[in-house]
Amino acid sequence: MTPEREVISEPVDEVELPSWEGSMGVLPDHAPLLAQLQAGQVSYRVGNQRHYLVVTGGFAEVLGEAVSVLARTCERAEEIDLDRAKRAEARAQEQLKSEIGSDTFARAGIKLKRAVARINTHSQRRV
């Protein structure tokens, strides 16, 4: 869920999330948890079918049998504009080269991570 929309609400068998501590898997009967998310790929499995999304940060809460993700933004793999993501990646890489040590450098790193997550997630879409 994002401030603008509910992206998915369905029973799933497994969720993988990009937490700041690393990739985090959630299976049934997981311990209660609150985790901060970084930009990256979220995947979830329903039966044998895996689905992919990209988030640009937020929080995940695991309580009982429910996983709630509150993300700044979220896109399904098939919603990603690959050309736009590649342009954003190139811009972020240029900023990283020219802004070493500045506040812009840190922001460029975050932008690069978002762009790469979108590109990688786009490649996981179902055609």
| pLDDT tens-digit readout, 9-62 | 999 999 999 998 889 999 988 999 999 999 999 999 999 999 999 998 899 999
pLDDT value at 127 more than 60: no
Name the residue among 113, 41, 107, 91 with its Cα closest to residue 71. Answer: 41
3-state secondary structure of 38: strand
7 is a domain residue = no
> Residues 99, 108: contact at Cβ < 8 Å?
yes
Quote the domain boundaries for residue 117.
81-122
Backbone angles phi, psi at 30, to 5 degrees: -65, 150
- The CATH number for 45's domain is 2.60.15.10
User: Taking the CA of residue 26 as centre, how many other CA atoms within 13 Å lie in the half-sphere pointing to its CB?
Assistant: 27
Same domain, 107 and 70: no
Global pTM? 0.74
Whether 4 maps to a domain, the answer reads: no
Distance CA 73, CA 83 (A): 18
% helix / strand / coil in the chain, to the nearest 5?
Answer: 30, 40, 30
- Domains in the chain, number: 2
CATH number (domain holding residue 91): 1.20.5
